[in-house]
Structure 1
Amino acid sequence: MLKIFENWVDRYFSDEEALVLLLLLTVGVIAVMTMGQVLAPMIAAIVIAFLMQGMVARLRSWGAPHGLAVTIAFLVLVLSLVALLLLLLPILWTQLLRFFNELPRMIMEGQSALALLPEKYPRLISERQLEQLFSTMTTELSSLGQDVVSFSVANIPMLIGLLIYLILVPILVFFFLKDSSVIIAWGAKFLPNKRPMMSRVWQEMNQQFANYVRGKVIEILIVGVVSYVVFAFLGLNYAALLAIAVGLSVVIPYIGAAVVTLPVALVAYFQWGWSSEFIWLMLAYGVIQALDGNVLVPVLFSEAVNLHPVAIILAVLVFGGFWGFWGVFFAIPLATLVKAILYAWPIAVQESSLGIIQNSADNH
């Protein structure tokens, strides 16, 4: 058994490139698990730089110098952040306050509706079970209220840090856009001179990450805007708040759409009850989700490497558990990275073995 393990190690880890790649992956995982919060501004800046790189490339193709293209892209980013802070956030804050003000009424209506269940369906639920449910709900809501108060008081430093990030992240984005080639060339100096496996993985993942990040942000914007237009047209309360939740739900494949359906359905029910308006709203919401999954996603991610749904869900659970929001956001490209390495590593080992045999034959 030990001999088999030694042969396996000699086969896959005897090459300098393989050891360097293993070291880089190990350091990356440790850095994310131990300093994920500290590296959050850097990660956010890299993501935004990926988004803006397409604009820089397009401006350069039109004949603009690199410095001018970077400056224009940076100004677009700053103006977008200003518009977000001045236009969208006040609307969201207003609707959030309104939601918390109406939450007690919704809870009372929900309890009244649940109280009728033992009479209509005595075999499914009893009055004692209903009382236990109400007791549990009361405890959870009280705990939630305490958490909200403690959050608002204890997380003032986090809000100050958020303001710092609003200044720090755009500056990092500017330098990533301006000196991306310099940074990549500097990092390449520490890698082996001959690195066919790394080059193969880098070429694939560079395109995959860029396409995925841009495609995912475009999907969030389209789904969020369409949801807001539909919700506002039908007169649904908290249209902007729910539309943003629906837009962000596409970050988590399969699971996000299922989770966000609950608040949409509950708000519609407490507003209209079992009426035609409720049915029309849920039908429109179902059409949005169907078009997103069957039309928008194939168009935006047509060049992405296909992954099995089980692999996607597993990647969301694993990377989300390691890295929180960013792990969920990058679950698919990280799974693609693992897939690319698993495919490239044996090929590189085989090519290296063939090269050794060829050199031996030439010497003889």
Structure 2
Amino acid sequence: MSLVTVFGRWYRRKFSDPDAAMLLILILLTAAVLVVWGEIIMPVLVAAVIAYLLDWPVSRLIRVGVRRSVACSLVLVGFITLTIMTLVGLVPIISRQSINLIQETPLIWQKAQDWILTLPDKYPDYVQVYQIHQMMEGLNERLVEVGQQLISASFSSLGDVAALLVYLILVPLMVFFMLKDKLFFLASIHKALPQERRLITQVGHEMNSQIANYIRGKVIEIVIVGIVSCITFILMDLRYAILLGVLVGLSVLIPYIGAAVVTIPVAVVAMFQWGISPEFWYLIIAYSIIQALDGNLLVPLLFSEAVSLHPLYIIVAVLFFGGLWGFWGVFFAIPLATLVKALITAWSGNPDPRFHQHPN
């Protein structure tokens, strides 16, 4: 039996249903639009993410009798005010601590080199002097390359000021209209879909609720982990506590990988400040407890559906979608992996009975 025959049978079995074929076509068209015009429509995607985040408080205000337009205005103004207050409070501190950390980086690196050079004397049977020198030369060359890349990136980012102004003006307007005219946009999308849309409706309903819950849950996780980390580092008198706490909070955007990466600056700063001392190990233990509570308590509470995905699938999704769409690919890695799971379920021949009938 030829490969073409096997593929043909599989295709007829999975996509002979017009609903399955329409779902496949919609997925391919959406992916093509994102790949080709992703950068152009990025403000729309950002506005959609914020609209998902703010839809819950808007819905609650509408339930208590507030008009939709008034509810949208109140929630959006509150969100913008809270964002500005957070930025005004955190950005100066983070900028100052970042500059201080960059200025002290050569001292930290020199201290690390001095410690590494002591290894041949402590462990002569395992570490040789020439190995240390080769490793140090390679690391120094790599650090120079990274420094040059950061300098060039900082100059190239000056051209993004105009794009930032676009985001500051257009995104809030789009968020307001997405919230205010939500029913109108949903009805328009419903009319634009083909008649063969049973599986599209099934997957759409499932993903709509999951994406909304994921965005809200991810923001809550970032805030909780960031605040707890900042308070812990401040109480333990760790230098650059706010900067490192914010980094720990943002690290939850990248499941598993983010926690491993952000551990490096936390451990390096603590070691430079205290050395291998009881204070260093106390901090590492406290940081490990924060990560353990986040992974074993907070994440299951906020993302019960996402936790059902195998960790290997999540890591592969982060690498794949992050490489494809950058930050937003990483941010939506888990819901995109859940989407793939929902598509496989839809094409497996076990459709949700709620969506057997075509909508009128």
**Range into which the TM-score falls when normalised by the shorter chain:** over 0.9
Choose which of 123, 126, 151 in structure 1 pairs with 2:125: 123
CA offset at residue 51 of structure 1?
0.6
Deviation digits for residues 254-312 of structure 1 (CA, Å, limit 9, x no counterpart):
12111111111001000110112111111110110111111111211235571111211
Which ranges in structure 2 are unaligned for 5 or more consecutive residues?
none
- SS of residue paired to 1:323: helix
Choose which of 164, 168, 171 in structure 2 pairs with 1:162: 164
The worse-fitting range, judged by mean Cα deviation, of 109-118 and 184-193 is: 184-193
Tell me, yes or no, if the aligned pair for 1:320 and 1:326 is still in contact at 8 Å. yes
Match of 1:210 in 2: 212
The worse-fitting range, judged by mean Cα deviation, of 41-50 and 303-312 is: 303-312
Tell me, yes or no, if the aligned pair for 1:45 and 1:170 is still in contact at 8 Å. yes
Once residues 67 and 350 of structure 1 are traced to their aligned partners in structure 2, the CA distance between those partners, rounded to angstroms, is 35
Match of 1:244 in 2: 246
The worse-fitting range, judged by mean Cα deviation, of 143-152 and 123-132 is: 143-152
The worse-fitting range, judged by mean Cα deviation, of 186-195 and 98-107 is: 186-195
Q: TM-score normalised to the size of structure 1?
A: 0.91
Cα-Cα RMSD: 2.0
Match of 1:337 in 2: 339
Q: TM-score normalised to the size of structure 2?
A: 0.92
**Residues 84 and 310 (structure 1), Cα distance of their counterparts in 2 relative to 1, 3 Å cut:** same
Once residues 323 and 310 of structure 1 are traced to their aligned partners in structure 2, the CA distance between those partners, rounded to angstroms, is 20
Match of 1:267 in 2: 269
Once residues 218 and 199 of structure 1 are traced to their aligned partners in structure 2, the CA distance between those partners, rounded to angstroms, is 29
Tell me, yes or no, if the aligned pair for 1:99 and 1:238 is still in contact at 8 Å. yes
Deviation digits for residues 85-141 of structure 1 (CA, Å, limit 9, x no counterpart):
322111111111111111111111111111101111122221111111221122122
Tell me, yes or no, if the aligned pair for 1:223 and 1:292 is still in contact at 8 Å. yes
The worse-fitting range, judged by mean Cα deviation, of 81-90 and 266-275 is: 81-90
The worse-fitting range, judged by mean Cα deviation, of 265-274 and 38-47 is: 38-47
The worse-fitting range, judged by mean Cα deviation, of 197-206 and 13-22 is: 13-22
Match of 2:302 in 1: 300
Amino acid aligned to 1:262: I
Amino acid aligned to 1:179: D
Tell me, yes or no, if the aligned pair for 1:320 and 1:327 is still in contact at 8 Å. yes
Choose which of 215, 225, 228 in structure 1 pairs with 2:227: 225
**Residues 350 and 68 (structure 1), Cα distance of their counterparts in 2 relative to 1, 3 Å cut:** closer
Instruction: Give me the identity figure in percent.
Output: 46
Deviation digits for residues 199-220 of structure 1 (CA, Å, limit 9, x no counterpart):
2111211111111111111001
Match of 2:83 in 1: 81
Which ranges in structure 1 are unaligned for 5 or more consecutive residues?
356-364
Choose which of 48, 51, 55 in structure 2 pairs with 1:49: 51
Match of 1:312 in 2: 314
- SS of residue paired to 2:192: coil
Once residues 167 and 55 of structure 2 are traced to their aligned partners in structure 1, the CA distance between those partners, rounded to angstroms, is 21
Amino acid aligned to 1:123: D
How many correspondences in the alignment?
A: 353
Amino acid aligned to 2:128: S
Once residues 349 and 11 of structure 1 are traced to their aligned partners in structure 2, the CA distance between those partners, rounded to angstroms, is 14
- SS of residue paired to 2:40: coil
Tell me, yes or no, if the aligned pair for 1:220 and 1:247 is still in contact at 8 Å. yes
Once residues 172 and 346 of structure 1 are traced to their aligned partners in structure 2, the CA distance between those partners, rounded to angstroms, is 37
Once residues 285 and 166 of structure 1 are traced to their aligned partners in structure 2, the CA distance between those partners, rounded to angstroms, is 35
Runs of 4+ in 1 over 4 A off after TM superposition: 348-351
Choose which of 97, 100, 103 in structure 1 pairs with 2:99: 97
**What does 1:336-355 align with in structure 2 at a 5 Å threshold?**
336-347=338-349
Amino acid aligned to 2:43: P
CA offset at residue 83 of structure 1?
1.3
CA offset at residue 321 of structure 1?
1.7
Tell me, yes or no, if the aligned pair for 2:53 and 2:215 is still in contact at 8 Å. yes
The worse-fitting range, judged by mean Cα deviation, of 188-197 and 278-287 is: 188-197
Match of 2:201 in 1: 199
**Residues 350 and 147 (structure 1), Cα distance of their counterparts in 2 relative to 1, 3 Å cut:** closer
Tell me, yes or no, if the aligned pair for 1:21 and 1:198 is still in contact at 8 Å. yes
Tell me, yes or no, if the aligned pair for 1:11 and 1:349 is still in contact at 8 Å. no
Once residues 43 and 163 of structure 2 are traced to their aligned partners in structure 1, the CA distance between those partners, rounded to angstroms, is 10
Match of 1:146 in 2: 148
